Amino acid sequence: MLQSGDYVVILRGVDDVSDGQLCRVLAPDESTSPHRYPPASWIPVFSWTGYVAWTNQENLVRIAVNVSKIEPLFQFGFSRTKPTLLQF
C-alpha cells in the first residue's frame, strides 16, 4: 500500500512524466498531506522534473531512499535548463 510522501519509480510514463522517472507520491489534492492509497487506487505522483501525473499502483515501484539526499534532486529538477541523466 502506497502513501503520500513515498518515493517511487514510474515504469510506463504518463503525460510529461517519462518512463523510469523518480517521483514522490502526493495526496489526492496534490498536496503533501498524509494519505494512504488502497491497492486499486489511481495515484498522483510528482516527478523530480516538476510534472504531476496520475497513474495506477501497478505502474509504480516503491523505493527506499535517504530523504535528505534525494529531496535536493527535486529542487534541482525545477532549476535545470537542459537534459540531465540521474544515476542511482
Helices (H), 1-88: 67-79
Q: Compute the chain's Rg from CA coordinates.
A: 12
**Residue 28 confidence (pLDDT):** 87
Q: What is the third-level CATH fold of 7-79? A: SH3 type barrels. (2.30.30)
Residues of the chain scoring pLDDT < 50:
none
- Beta strand ranges found along the chain (DSSP E): 7-10, 22-25, 42-47, 52-56, 60-63
- Taking only the tens place, the pLDDT of each residue in 3-27 is 999 999 999 999 889 899 999 999 9
**Residue 48: what pLDDT?**
87
Model confidence, pTM: 0.82
Q: Where are the domains of the chain?
A: 7-79
pLDDT given for residue 39 in this prediction: 87
Write down the mean pLDDT value for the chain.
Answer: 85
Q: Which residue has the cell 495526496?
A: 27
Angle at 60 between CA 59 and CA 63, to 5 degrees: 160
